[in-house]
Structure 1
Amino acid sequence: MSYTPLIPSSGVAGWNFLQSTYDRQYEAFVQAGQLKNDTEYFAENIGKVTSSDDLLNDRRLLQVAVKAFGLEEEINYRALLQRTLNEGTTADDALANKMNDERYVKFSEAFGFGPGQSAKTADSKAMQEVIDSFQSASFEEAVGNVDETMRTALFAKRAMLEVFGEPDEDDVSQLSVKERALREFDLTLQEINGDEDEELGVKSVEDQWKEIVQRDVLTDFLNTTLRMPVATAGLDDDEKVQAYRDRATIVFGSDDPTVFFSPDNKEAVLSAYRSRATVAGETSADIAKTSDLSERILDQLVARGSALNEEWDFISRQEPLADFMKIALDLPDDIANRDTSEAMRIYREKAIEIFGTDDPNVFANDANVDEVLSIYREKASESGMRNSEISSNVRTVETILKFTYGDEDAITNDSPEQITAEIDAGWFSVMGQTGVPRFLNTALDVNGAVDDLIAAGDLEAGSTFDGLSIDEKLSIYKDKATELFGTDDLKELTGPYQIGIVSDTYRTNAAANGESSFFINYYAQIAERELDVLFQSDDTDAEQAFEEALERLRTMNDEDDGPSANSQWFTIMGQQAMTDFMQVALGLPKEVGQMDIDQAVEVYKRKAEQVLGTDKPSEFISGDKMDDLVNLYLTRSQMRSIGSGYSSGSAALMMLRR
């Protein structure tokens, strides 16, 4: 059974869907039916081929070989294919070189049967490249059976990368000034923030509160629990954080969320909210929803801190360990008399400074415990402690550490469970926001998902998305996000390269639902701003960093233009299908193809400069320009097909087959 690619709509919306689901659809396609059989047959038998005759005499192998290089229409021209293979490409008068078609050159080189060449059929890596090309070409053909313009767009994107190569992440010569500025900005932020996995320190109480007050459901929860005055909403962020901290200290006895929402204390906090919300007249359904969402979000925000505080609280109450840490970490003399929250923070900050981590399960594991003990010995000796006492303490502490801590109990942020929990907490935050749900519900078409579940018998008839439980909503959100955009991680979805696609999908769906353009723009702007604050903001002064990055950018040497734009256009114009793609994408009339080649190139360059901001084709593959080019092609193809009844994609595919 063959797999038919799913493209739910034409034009840009269909292209965005195809791109976001490409990997999954491609994998399903290559694993289906005859294509899988042909691929397996080629992989199992190509190694037995030692000459062009062997290849030409096995039609199943030959079908894969010619299609991999776009030569499937030539499969019955045995003499042509045999000369192409046998003459190779080393001689100028070899047939492949004289054909003025790069497909024949690549076909000949792939198998290496020509003079002075070595057969590559036994080279599994080289033959896998042939298989990959065969599968890609087959998938493009299947896409073309659904929508011809999509096939041409896929071909053009692949051909541009083949001609000009994948963008070099370290080479800025192909980037526009704007793109260089953004790259420089990203590098600047990386220098400031360090690697994502780098443990920079213990998150301050103030920073924890800054995260809390950005989440609408948490402010609702805490406004009720702490009986915050209505005027709090009008304060600026710093004043608001201080107001919450002051009130939390009075009500909870601590302004540290890792303390008042620790496993030992959170039920009291939740009970206080439920009681006060009931008195305030809120409905039981709203109380349950706010309580549940708040608990899940706060659990994730304070999970690591609370768990580590418990570890350090245990250490602080074990006299041998407490004495050991006081010396090893250079703790203040009055550490035992400090407020618990403050003491735990000092323990953890000093542990990061001395041991490189605040998790005892890491620094006290088998691999690191000897180094920790050495640090203690050195500092104890410097303090004047007797060697016998040092040795005795080391033996005692070593025994406790080895039997108490280990890697299996490490409290990390990168375990699969923690990553999933963090992703889920992001969706819980979204559910509790004011402006975001409408945006994402429309972009992800959650109502359509509910209808599908009802039809499948997984939900009762009459169910609505708003009436579902939190876990049911979470499942739909994550499934739809993965289906449409390839990820269920809101940090990825709201990043600079994905949020535009999500927003475009929202706008398309909202317009189809009959919403006015004013409200579409209004809700999109609110949602994008909220999502950026929730998932993309950091403590960096972005404006200052960006200005500094731009200042450095101004000093960059921008004189090396690389290969001329003209030579790059000549390369494109040597492939008719690419020429047709460019004509449509840039909005040029077909008559350009009848002009003198030098004049035509100047027309292409002027138009590309106007549309894309550059006249060098090698720069089309950088940044978002290739996507912009494909979107222009698809849009103009639709307009032309509506006007003429004949798709420009058909013309391109006809030229591809020549």
Structure 2
Amino acid sequence: MTFVPTVVGSGVAGYAFLKRTRDVQQNLFEQNPLIAREATQFSDKLKDIQTSDQLMEDRTLLKVALGAFGLDDDLDNRAFIKRILDSDLSDNKSLANRLADKRYLAFAQAFNFASDDGPRLLQERTADELTVKLQALQSSDDLLADRSLLRASLERFGLEGNLSNTYFLKQVLESDLSDENSFANRMPDARLVEFAKAFDFFGKEQGKSKLDTIVDTFSGSFDTITTTADLLDNPVLLEEALQIFDLDDIYTTDFLTNVLNSDLNDEASFVYSLEDDRFARFAGAFSFNTPVLDENGDPALDGDGNPVVEKSRLQVLVEAASASSGSLDSPDDFLDATALRDAALDLFGIANTVASRGLVERILNSDPEVATSLVNVYPDERFTALFNLFNFREPETARVYPEGFVEQVTQNYLDRQFEIQVGESDPTMRVALALERELKQVVDAGTSNDASWFSIMASPPLREVFEGAFRLPSSFGSIDVDQQLSVLKSRAEQFYDTSEVADFVDPERLESLRQSYLLSSSAQSLGSSSGANIASIILSGF
């Protein structure tokens, strides 16, 4: 059964009703079997689309993709759409860049087939505060610790009844969804799988490097571990510290006390009596009982005669990693991060020389999956420990759609299809619903102000809004385009105190524009003006 939206009244009142009931009405619309099937197919199959040809070959996927940008009428215009998708967006003369209708540019930018940069998230749907907070979450504990955020998240999936069952939710959120026997997959409620998939905490945890874990564990903790006893009394920090040097947590407290209290400046200290050099590096990470020496080899004193205290090697590493502004996706990224590189070499006792850095580069660039690679055959375990700090992977050769891309395109398609259905009942309501998105798309294109006005002229719905709000006759579009530009800018200044298109995305000005359009459409105050009176309208202060 075809969904027929309810539109009560027209003009401002009709729009107010539609805006108030949109969520309920659109939810009913999205339950239409055809619409639901198209959305599901797009969500399931897009990840396998690697080229524009593959997208063009699947009519359903292409229909949803085009519909998400309001380009439904181009579904059979295949040669033209292929040229749009294959446009080189870095070339101002490419087809997508030259078209006045910026929907085509937004379409090409989103899928970005002509660039190695891959697909890009759309900008049409503004992220609300909740979405921003959810995107910042890194673990299930982060979500479970924020009760209001947890409640809002559960409500999105209809799972608010589980709000107090945090142990259960933790098992769900940390499930490996690729394992059919994982906790979430064994639950009878399919919404729990969707809930876990939305956050993908398991995937985020798997993607973390040992360095990430060290930073997460020790950040903000160094003021609380100033002595050996402090560290031994904190089992979480102690275990993580031991793992840095691939040491087990099986040693007695007395043994670890002797290790950590060793004076690393004294060759006769306990730690140097051990055959395993890792214990010396473990003790050196904290240097609890190792004074800073002056140039004469004596304990260094400050101006007040107190022993000089320096940050531990581990603290220096954590702070350098936290302060690192760039990503660490490759060995080169690490080697270029001077402070972090030097701190890591120092932590593992690797001499900071040109020769050692060259060896580090070769080891970090070796493949751990190959038995004969340098990282697997080099005898010095310090370099292996350094290698294990990171989680370097070969760059993806396949196109990867960013998180949220499929959902965003699908939702934009559903939004526009609902608006089309509304337009069957009242075309004015469709235009009013789409105004913010269409106008923002023009502004986001980043072109000059005049070019933005030309884009408005090229967009039938935007032209209709501005001509209606500016009280221009229906025959206005028949005059010279440069004269149209002049009139539109003049009327914008007259009615809204600005001729800058970008200013119309301001919420108050946007709402005023919409209201003026709806009032104009409802009253049909201008009616149908003839070409003969255009000049008088232009010259008047109407």
More helix by share: 1
Asked if TM exceeds 0.5, the reply is no
The two structures have a TM-score, normalised by structure 1, of: 0.35
The two structures have a TM-score, normalised by structure 2, of: 0.42
